[in-house]
Amino acid sequence: MDSMHDLGGMEGFGPVQPEDNNGSVFHAPWEGRVLGLQRAILYSEAWNIDVFRHAQERIHPIEYLSWSYYERWTHTLIATALERGLFSLDEFRAEVSLTGNLSESLKVLTVKGVDKTFVRGNFERDGIHDPQFSVGDLVITKELHVNGHTRLPRYARDKIGTIIAIRGRHVFPDAVVSHGAENPQWLYTVEFEGCEVWGEASDTTVSNLVDAFEPYLSRPEYD
Amino acid sequence: MDSMHDLGGMEGFGPVQPEDNNGSVFHAPWEGRVLGLQRAILYSEAWNIDVFRHAQERIHPIEYLSWSYYERWTHTLIATALERGLFSLDEFRAEVSLTGNLSESLKVLTVKGVDKTFVRGNFERDGIHDPQFSVGDLVITKELHVNGHTRLPRYARDKIGTIIAIRGRHVFPDAVVSHGAENPQWLYTVEFEGCEVWGEASDTTVSNLVDAFEPYLSRPEYD
Amino acid sequence: MSGSDHHDHSHGEESILTDIQKRVKALESILVSKGLVERATIDQIIEHFENKVGPHVGARVVARAWIDQEFKRALLEDATKAINSQSDFPQVGQHLIAIENNDSLHNVVVCTLCSCYPWDVLGLPPVWYKSAPYRSRIVSDPRSVLKEFGLELSEAKKIRVWDSTAETRYLVIPQRPVFLGVKSESELAKCVTRDSMIGTGKVSPLSEDNVNG
Amino acid sequence: MSGSDHHDHSHGEESILTDIQKRVKALESILVSKGLVERATIDQIIEHFENKVGPHVGARVVARAWIDQEFKRALLEDATKAINSQSDFPQVGQHLIAIENNDSLHNVVVCTLCSCYPWDVLGLPPVWYKSAPYRSRIVSDPRSVLKEFGLELSEAKKIRVWDSTAETRYLVIPQRPVFLGVKSESELAKCVTRDSMIGTGKVSPLSEDNVNG
């Protein structure tokens, strides 16, 4: 869905507020707790990162812009846990389980196992199909308006670009969210001239690159 | 500028809340006062409707979404009056003029003159140039990212459509805001197939129409 | 105009006036003090929009178009000229455009960039017309949005979504429903709802409650 | 998740815990009570992100690439494999991609759709990286945004803006500035700032204050 999260190309938010290198820290203890909880839940496989991202996309636009990053995480975790029945609203309010234990059905991240999870997971999957495009190919991105989750930003739709790399065959986020299947797809890095994306009058020294799954791409009719 | 006001095609705002016919009223007495003030100021020619619209576009996105229509008007009128020096912040706070009278330099809308202003103004202007396009012509809208005011919405950019009507030669809002000149331009109604705008998978019975000024349009390279 | 004070609207007030009421009052006062605004003029403008214009104006135009084929032809050719040619209608501004629904086509009007609206013939715009949910979604998914208004169109019906991006203004001429039967112009006008002239509602058999607030 | 309660964050609390602190505490408590989460694990995760990973990891990778041409070649070919081949670096996940600045090209990284970031090598993302001003404007007007960071690029320099829209992650290899002179790998690493590895900042002559928080 094309909601508030798809920010690329919007204006009016004011200047960036740079933060010195000390910024790579938590700004309050609760932020660390949320991060830890999010990682423990992803490990449990109650849901995956794509579902988590899509849940954030469904935050109302006013909240999406008003809340901080970890506030968004907090609300998304609670809402998704309630939606998926990890606990009931009564249980959340009481802060105590009234029905049973989740550790029988879901994986529990322990102190012993946690170190292994600090290496990012791999979303590449084997498959028999060859990639449809090659490095150097011209492609046109689709005008895609998905009633669900997609990773092709609005600014990069219906634009002609060039494949500059093939990144392997990856879990397809659109499919994970819409029907819970990995449906792996070839992933490409596509480069667009800035003028193709932002118009003739834009800075000609700029190019934009996105990582695009094969279903987002087709061959331009005239090339 | 491509700010929060350019809402066409966004999702996530929830369902429309229809209002019965009694809705064509003010919902509080102050709303009527704001409307009256806005009309009196437009009449004074302190600024025009394009400047007023652009001032609304510069409202921070969070406020743009949080404020009601007449709240946006109120904040915009105050901010623009301060920017243009109609009064100072001290005068606004004191609610009294400390420097002088504006009626010497600006037109004052009186009870006697007000009736005439209820008929909408005419923004059509004579000129010597013929329209560049004719009804039935295929046109492509520009990928326009103006650092100022424009009336071509994002969803209708870089799209191929058909001219269905020529509406006359009108004051060009982009020029009014950027350099205070009317710079009149031919205005066309352009119809786009929904699939051109929203992608192959969209409802094929839908078409979108916008009123586009000539500088927004060019001829497609392949037609 | 900064992003920082949007949390402060609804609390911390010391007087019975809300923040927005205070601001409007201050704006009016300073403009009166500057000699730019006369309070009586503002009263007059409010009076006009509360009691004179409104959907009943557009409804009379539509009703006449239903009854008088010659007027309808003129209306579709140049709505401003046609309306201003009738001595019993209020004068309207330039570039009013009438668009007609028929068995195979439905028209609906929006202004995605602000809230342009045919005030001359419909009066004050309703809240939803100016809201983000309507402005964002009517252009990309009109059929679903119209359903939320209770307007279920057949799947074969073509929908044209008119975005008022310039100083033209659009008035939808709804189809005259068969159920209205033979009625006078003024009886018919009572059945033409505001929403039917925006393209988001039905013509109603239920008289003037739907038109006059 | 409704739109109605966003005005209520900052007032009306009865305890010293803010609303967000209460929610996080409640979430942790119910998940512990459900047996899904162990508090000690959360402690361990926080410890990891507070003290183990951070821009100093990426800085060492960059410094080694500056010094060791063979490592740099391998890094640009497959950054994950190159880093994991070095026994003194922490292991990193798949699909880390190193992109190199040079005299005619500057690279900058963003995630417009959420906030994807190379945590393995840079630790926690800074607030601005996750913010609307950066995510919205770096793709359309990178030169101006970089200026706001104090990075004025020559007008002739090409800028590539990489949007992390999938599970690939990007690490910028900044140019080794002439002013650094001959230094050891660990001395060089102290000059590689976090922002220089995102593409929004300069390499600094000013030692480790810039790298370790």
Rounded percentage of chain C residues whose pLDDT exceeds 90: 84
Residue of C nearest to D11 (CA): C11
Four-way CATH pick for D55-212: 3.30.1300.10, 3.40.190.10, 3.90.330.10, 3.40.50.460: 3.90.330.10
For C75-138, the DSSP string reads HHH-HHHHHHTSTTSPP--TTEEEEE-BTTEEEEEE-SSS----HHHH-SPPGGGGSHHHHHHT
Neighbours of chain C (3+ CB pairs under 8 A): A, B, D
Question: What percentage of chain D exceeds 70 in pLDDT?
Answer: 89
Report how many Cβ contacts below 8 Å link chain A to chain C: 4
pLDDT at A223 (0 to 100): 45
Cβ of A36 under 8 Å from any chain D Cβ? yes
Q: Does A60 touch chain B (CB under 8 A)?
A: yes
- B140, B145, B208: best mutation site toward chain A, by most A Cβ within 10 Å? B145
**Percent of chain D scoring above 90 in pLDDT:** 84
Give me the mean pLDDT over the D156-180 stretch.
95
Contact B120 C119 (CB under 8 A): yes
**Closest chain D residue by Cα to residue A5:** D113
Per-residue pLDDT, C207: 54
- For the segment B36-63, the average pLDDT, to the nearest whole number, is 96
Most confident range, picked from A114-118, A122-126, B122-126, C127-131: C127-131
Q: Is B190 helix (H, G, I), strand (E, B) or coil?
A: strand
Nearest residue of chain B to residue C46 (CA atoms): B32
> In the prediction, which pLDDT does C56 show?
94
Among the ranges given (B21-25, B123-127, B147-151, D61-65), the one the predictor scored with the smallest mean pLDDT:
B21-25
Which residues have a Cβ under 8 Å from the Cβ of C27 and sit 6 or more positions away? Answer: B34, B37, B74, B77, B78, B81, B92
* CA distance to partner chain D, nearest, from residue A180 (Å): 17
For the stretch B63-99, pLDDT in tens is 999 999 999 999 999 999 999 999 999 999 999 999 9
Write out pLDDT tens, residues D18-45: 899 999 999 999 999 999 999 999 999 9
pLDDT of the residue at A192 = 98
Angle at C89 between CA C85 and CA C90, to 5 degrees: 105
Residue D5 has pLDDT above 70, yes or no: no
- What ipTM was assigned to the predicted interfaces of this complex? 0.93
Among A13, A65, A71, A203, the strongest candidate for a mutation testing the B interface, having the largest count of B CBs within 10 A, is A65
Rounded to a whole number of angstroms, the distance from the CA of C199 to the nearest CA of chain B is 13
Q: Cα separations (Å) of A102 from A36, A81, B12, D164?
A: 18, 12, 32, 34
Confidence of residue B51 (pLDDT cuts 50, 70, 90): very high
Report the candidate in D66, D23, D113 with the shortest Cα–Cα distance to residue A92: D23
Within 8 A of C6 by CB-CB distance, chain A residues are 66
For chain C, percent of residues with pLDDT exceeding 70: 89
8 Å CB contact between D165 and A47: no
Residues of B with CB below 8 A from D140's CB?
145
Q: Which residue is catalytic, options D2, D4, D87, D111?
A: D111
The one catalytic residue in D85, D114, D136, D144 is D114
For tokens 């424009």, name the residue: B150
Q: Which pLDDT score is estimated for C6?
A: 43
Query: What are the structure tokens assigned to B97, written together?
Result: 């003029």
pLDDT at position D36: 96
Q: Is the CB of C6 less than 8 angstroms away from the CB of A61?
A: no
Using an 8 Å CB-CB cutoff, list chain B residues near C44.
Answer: 111, 114
Please, which pLDDT band fits residue D181 given cuts at 50, 70 and 90? confident
In the predicted structure, residue D178 carries a pLDDT above the cut 90: no
For residues D55-64, give the mean pLDDT.
97
DSSP string, D1-45: --TTSGGGTTS---SSS-HHHHHHHHHHHHHHHTTS--HHHHHHH
**Is A61 part of the contact surface with chain C (CB cutoff 8 Å)?**
yes
User: Which chains does chain B touch, 3 or more C-beta pairs < 8 A?
Assistant: A, C, D
Domain B138-218 falls under CATH 2.60.40.1660: no
User: Which among A33, A152, A167 has CB closest to D42?
Assistant: A33
Cβ contact B14–D3 (<8 Å)? yes
Nearest residue, CB atoms, D36 vs list A6, A102, A153: A102
Confidence of residue C14 (pLDDT cuts 50, 70, 90): low
pLDDT higher than 70, residue D209: no
Q: Where is average pLDDT lowest: C91-100, C180-189, D3-12?
A: D3-12
Say yes or no for a CB contact (<8 Å) between D9 and C7: yes
Neighbouring CB atoms inside 10 A of C178's CB total 6
Nearest residue to A50 via CA among A87, A82, A76: A76
Q: What is the mean pLDDT of residues C141-160?
A: 96
Distance from CA of C195 to the nearest CA of D (A): 26
Which of B39, B87, B109 is the closest to C30 by Cβ?
A: B87
pLDDT at B204 over 80: yes
Please give the C-alpha separations between residue A128 and each of A131, A169, A185, A187, C142, in angstroms, as whole numbers. Answer: 10, 10, 11, 15, 41
Q: Choose among A14, A57, A199: nearest Cβ to B142.
A: A199
Counting beta carbons within 10 angstroms of the beta carbon of residue C34, is it exposed (0 to 12), middle (13 to 18) or buried (19 or more)? Answer: buried
Helix axes C19-33, B69-83, angle to 10 degrees: 40
C10 SS3 class: coil
The sign of the dihedral angle between the CA atoms of A113, A114, A115, A117 is positive
Closest CB from D6, D132, D140 relative to B145 = D140
State the Cα–Cα distance between residues D30 and D114, nearest whole angstrom: 27
The pLDDT score that the predictor gives to residue A22 is: 61
Q: Where are the domains of chain A?
A: 29-118, 138-218
- Among B1, B66, B157, the residue with its CB nearest the CB of A62 is B66
Interface membership of B51 toward C (CB under 8 Å): no
Residue D108 confidence (pLDDT):
98
pLDDT of res. D205: 80
Spans in chain A with pLDDT lower than 70: 21-23, 222-223
CATH fold of A29-118: Cyclin A; domain 1 (1.10.472)
Measured from the Cβ of residue A150, the count of other Cβ atoms closer than 10 Å reads 27
The residues pairing with C172 across neighbouring beta strands, listed in sequence order, are: C99
**Tokens for A88?**
């009931």
- The radius of gyration computed from the CA coordinates of chain C, to the nearest angstrom, equals 20
Q: What is the pLDDT of residues D78-104, one digit of tens each?
A: 999 999 999 999 999 999 999 999 999
Tokens of A100: 């049973």
- C156: number of Cβ within 10 Å: 8
Q: Give yes or no for residue C9 having a pLDDT over 50.
A: no
Question: Exposure of C174 by Cβ count < 10 A (0-12 exposed, 13-18 middle, 19+ buried)?
Answer: buried
Catalytic site positions of C: 111, 114-116
B66 touches chain D (CB under 8 A): yes
pLDDT band at B21 (very low <50, low <70, confident <90, very high): low
- Concerning whether D114 is annotated as a catalytic residue, the answer is yes
- Tell me the DSSP string of B38-56: HHHHHHHTSS-HHHHHHHH
Backbone φ and ψ for C164, nearest 5 degrees, come out as -75, 80
pLDDT more than 90, % of chain B: 91
- Cβ burial, residue C166 (10 Å; 0-12/13-18/19+): buried
Q: In chain C, which residues have their Cβ closer than 8 Å to the Cβ of A145? A: 140
On the question of pLDDT at D8 being above 60, the answer is no
User: Would the pLDDT of D6 be above 60?
Assistant: no
Cβ separation A61–C132 shorter than 8 A: yes
The tokens describing A68, both together, are: 């901080």
**Chain D residues close to A114, C-beta within 8 Å:** 41, 44-45, 48
Span D97-151, pLDDT tens digits: 999 999 999 999 999 999 999 999 999 999 999 999 999 999 999 999 999 999 9
pLDDT one-digit tens code per residue, C170-183: 999 999 988 888 88
B26 and chain C in contact, CB less than 8 A: yes
Question: What mean pLDDT, rounded, does chain C reach?
Answer: 90
D-contacting chains (≥3 CB pairs under 8 Å): A, B, C
Specify the pLDDT at position C183: 87
Chain C residues with a Cβ under 8 Å from any Cβ in chain D: 7, 9-11
Length in residues, chain D: 213
Query: Is the pLDDT assigned to residue D72 strictly greater than 60?
Result: yes
CA-based nearest residue to A73, from A108, A41, A45, A35: A35
